[in-house]
Amino acid sequence: MPTYRGNAIAVGLLLIACSVASILSVVPLGSMLDSPDYLAQLAANGDRVVVTALIEFVWAAAAVGIAIGLYPVLRRSNGSVALGSVAGRTVEGILALVGTLSLLTLLTVAQGTVAADPAASTSAQLVGDTLLAVRDWVFGFLMLLAFAVGALLYYALLYRSRLVPRWLSGWGLIGAGLCLVATVYAGFTQEFGLSTVNTLLNAPIGLQEMVLAIWLIAKGFDRRAIVSAPATRPSLAGAPAL
């Protein structure tokens, strides 16, 4: 009977990597994108844009890796729901890369405005504003929707299976639910980023995932819950225990 100890450690490390990357991603650019002359600032700080893109790539890859790492053990409880959690966080990762691509394209547009005539600069500003809006909606709304749905699915299975203490998985369910509420609210108000509402409602899931990461690295999954779970065979192949 596998203990999935490797999966637990991998998921714990990926949870930490995902959270750290999401926090660090705002550091290189600071408030640059909020500045009226953001195109000029981006053009003068291309290295910072590339560093941000690399951090966001780590963020996206870690998000997908979390669900993949959980899948082999969660599928024993419900293969379809476990697969849904993988799909949710995979969509999150893809959307993160879409937001990153919009930033890199924005850099190219910004660099093109340096030698442009006034008429071309006006067009570049319009394109830049459009790319910036795409990035805001992706990171502030669509990506968080995918995260919240994926997290709700795997926390529901963790709660049902008792693979981790129920106070921990229950905390995750509440936190993911609050994140979903914050995201829907942001969609209607278009208050993206670190607004007061977003910060307060997303703080529980942020803290919970760090506690879960430490728990998985230190203790792993409950072996009694693994033994009692039926060994189902869902449709996703090639996801062995680590």
- pLDDT for 100: 96
Nearest to 164 by CA among 229, 215, 240: 215
Q: What is the mean pLDDT of residues 212-239?
A: 74
Closest CA to 221 of 163, 155, 171: 163
What's the mean pLDDT in 8-16?
96
Which range is least confidently modeled, 6-15, 92-101, 233-242?
A: 233-242
pLDDT score, position 239? 45
Count of all residues that appear for the chain in the document? 242
Residue 228 pLDDT level (bands cut at 50, 70, 90) = confident
Structure token pair of residue 16? 């930490």
Nearest 10 degrees: Cα torsion 216, 81, 144, 105 = 100
Q: What is the pLDDT of residue 237?
A: 42
> Is the pTM value of this prediction over 0.95?
no
What CA–CA distances, in Å, run from 111 to 46, 106, 128, 154?
9, 9, 11, 43
Indicate the pLDDT class of residue 197, thresholds 50, 70 and 90.
Answer: confident
Which residue, 7, 12, 70, is CA-closest to 214? 12
Average pLDDT over residues 65-93: 92
